[in-house]
């Protein structure tokens, strides 16, 4: 299965996919394209080092619909079959999501449906949560509301800050995201309503 990655910043989850591919942990999954919406995204350097084509589409100078149209054109040109959002800080239009229904993966640094949105760590600490973690999920038309595939919980420590909580969750993101890419590529994910079933290996 041909995967494209969309990123906005440092791209550490993108790097986790590159590293998993190098270790032979993504059989059946090919990383064919990176799209970034920020010129200074560190993900660009990671793509160049791994020999993955990349495209910059400036989200600051165009409407959301125009951005998505251009992104879809890039993805069609490289015959993308599925999309991974790796720190992509921009909402996608319903038209984009419909083009890849149940084939857009995202990793979110909270235990969804708790603490969706861009400030998950801050929100978890403000709510006095005893645990947090990360969720790998399919993307739908809402904000972090799509069907959850895998989650990993960790305790919130009494002295945690946003930064320390983020740092302890990040390694679990780096593990879960390649795993769901592997499962999707293997045809082992079945969506029924808001539930995702992981099918046994054939």
* Token pair listed for 161: 């800050």
77-90 residue pLDDT tens: 999 999 999 999 99
pLDDT for 202: 80
Please give the CATH superfamily to which domain 2-198 belongs.
Answer: Formyl transferase, N-terminal domain (3.40.50.170)
If you average pLDDT over residues 129-158, what whole number do you get? Answer: 97
If you average pLDDT over residues 23-41, what whole number do you get? Answer: 97
- Coil, strand, or helix at residue 199? coil
- 163 pLDDT band, cuts 50/70/90, is very high
Q: What residue segments make up the domains of the chain, in order of their start?
A: 2-198
- Coil, strand, or helix at residue 58? coil
> 172 with 154: CB under 8 angstroms?
yes
* Token pair listed for 187: 């045809």
* Token pair listed for 66: 């125009």
Q: 102, 108, 137, 172: which one is catalytic?
A: 108
- 32 pLDDT band, cuts 50/70/90, is very high
The H-assigned helical ranges of 24-134 are: 43-50, 64-77, 94-99, 120-126
- Coil, strand, or helix at residue 73? helix
pLDDT for 82: 98
> 11 with 42: CB under 8 angstroms?
yes
What does pTM read for this prediction?
0.96
122-141 residue pLDDT tens: 999 999 999 999 999 999 99
pLDDT for 121: 98
Instruction: Assess whether 108 carries a catalytic annotation.
Output: yes
If you average pLDDT over residues 64-70, what whole number do you get? Answer: 97
If you average pLDDT over residues 31-57, what whole number do you get? Answer: 98
How far is Cα 173 from Cα 154, in angstroms, rounded to an integer?
12
- 8 pLDDT band, cuts 50/70/90, is very high
| Cβ atoms < 10 Å from Cβ of 1 | 17
Hey, which residues does 36 pair with through a beta bridge? 7, 56
């Amino acid at each position: 299965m041909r995967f494209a990655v969309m990123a906005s910043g440092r791209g550490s989850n993108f790097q986790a996919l590159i590293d998993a591919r190098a270790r032979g942990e993504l059989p059946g999954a090919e990383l064919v394209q990176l799209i970034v919406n920020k010129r200074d995204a560190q993900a660009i350097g990671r793509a160049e080092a791994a020999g993955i084509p990349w495209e910059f589409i400036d989200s600051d100078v165009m409407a959301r619909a125009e951005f998505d149209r251009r992104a879809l054109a890039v993805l069609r040109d490289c015959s993308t079959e599925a999309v991974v959002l790796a720190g992509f800080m921009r909402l996608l239009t319903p038209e984009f999501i419909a083009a890849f229904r149940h084939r857009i993966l995202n990793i979110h640094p909270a235990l969804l449906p708790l603490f969706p949105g861009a400030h998950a760590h801050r929100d978890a600490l403000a709510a006095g949560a005893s645990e947090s973690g990360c969720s790998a999920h399919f993307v739908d038309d809402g904000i972090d509301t799509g069907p959850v595939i895998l989650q990993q919980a960790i305790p919130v420590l009494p002295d945690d800050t946003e930064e320390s909580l983020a740092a302890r969750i990040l390694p679990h993101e780096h593990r879960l995201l390649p795993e769901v890419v592997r499962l999707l590529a293997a045809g082992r994910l079945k969506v029924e309503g808001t539930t995702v079933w992981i099918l046994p290996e054939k």
